[in-house]
Amino acid sequence: MATKVRARFSAERRFYAFMAFAMIAFMLIGFAPTFYLKGVVPPYPRPGPALTPFFIAHGALFTLWMLVFAAQTMLVAAGRRDVHMRLGQLGLGLAVLIVPVMYLAAITQVPLRDQPPFTTPLGWTSVPLAGIPPFVILVWLGWKHRRDAQAHKRLMLSAALLFMAPAVGRWPIAPPTLLGHTITQGLSWLCFAPLFWWDLRTLGRLHWATRAGASLALAAVVIPILLMATGGWDTVAAHLPGL
């Protein structure tokens, strides 16, 4: 019995480590032309904004969040839960910083007109703004359930998976149309598929934290698509603080 338990924990650690490094790879691919390798890799599917100090800080902050998540998985695998818990406080601080940065990124792109051709600058604000409530909810739940390892892991993984939408959305796999955007966003949501598989394999069902994370991520994908399709968000976005 003890051998089976150790084997399961070992497999679990490998799974979360795989997810962490896969997400980092996805972000590197998606943001290479506009951030990591700007000026080296040809821009796709559209040129990004100039790397102003704000956008450099924005990219660095989100990169650090993903690196902290990866480090957390490695610390658990190494049995350093004491360091894991201390680093978790840094992760919470980063999450607090990420929220206003997400909002500022949404409104900063409006005068730059850095939006795809199928929508307006105001309409495009719906994409980053729709990700803020799910991120806040998942991080708060993850902190609240930090003593429940199985829930905590899934909630924090789900919070990180939210960032696959902008990363995969920049892959050159669909035309710059609303349909193409819908396809790439659907593919980004499928990044939850390995977690579904892991739950079904180990639990025989989806954990409640997985269901919560996947549902919130789906809402963050679907709501902006509907808002951009109808065009009704522009009137509301015109009154956003800072615009």
Tens of pLDDT, residue by residue over 85-120, are 787 888 888 899 999 999 999 999 899 888 888 999
Q: Where are the domains of the chain?
A: 2-237
Rounded Cα distance, 65 and 240, in Å: 27
Give the distance, in angstroms, between the CA of residue 180 and the centroid of all CA atoms in the same chain: 19
Average pLDDT, the chain: 89
pLDDT at 227: 95
pLDDT at 7: 53
Is the Cβ–Cβ distance between 168 and 31 less than 8 Å?
no
**pTM summary value:** 0.91
Q: What is the mean pLDDT of residues 186-204?
A: 97
Q: What is the mean pLDDT of residues 114-139?
A: 94
Residue showing tokens 């998540």: 69
**Token representation of residue 141:** 């739940």
Is the Cβ–Cβ distance between 25 and 163 less than 8 Å?
no
Phi/psi at 41 (5° precision):
-95, 135
Half-sphere exposure of 217 (CA within 13 A, CB side): 30
Least confident of 41-50, 103-112, 151-160, 232-241: 41-50
Phi/psi at 36 (5° precision):
-65, -40
pLDDT at 47: 62
pLDDT at 124: 95
